[in-house]
Amino acid sequence: MKKFSAYRIFEQDGKSVGRFVELRLEDLDPGEVVIQSHYSSVNFKDALAATGAGRVIRRFPCVGGVD
């Protein structure tokens, strides 16, 4: 199956750690979707999620972006 890149946020030693990973459709949880985009922004909530400062994420790992 086709692979795609995603910015995924993980929990590591009690901290949020984000990095780009290569995924396949089979790697997604039920109900998750894939969209094709050429550009995306990083907003305040994304920054809180990626740094763990705002406790925005309830379960790990997750794909960042609230756009």
pLDDT digits over 27-58, tens only? 888 988 888 888 888 788 878 877 777 777 87
Residues of the chain with pLDDT > 70: what percent?
A: 96
Two structure tokens written together for 33: 């979707």
Give the pLDDT band (50/70/90) at residue 66: low
Report domain extents, the chain. Answer: 3-63
pTM of the predicted model as reported, rounded to 2 decimal places: 0.72
Return mean pLDDT, the chain. 84
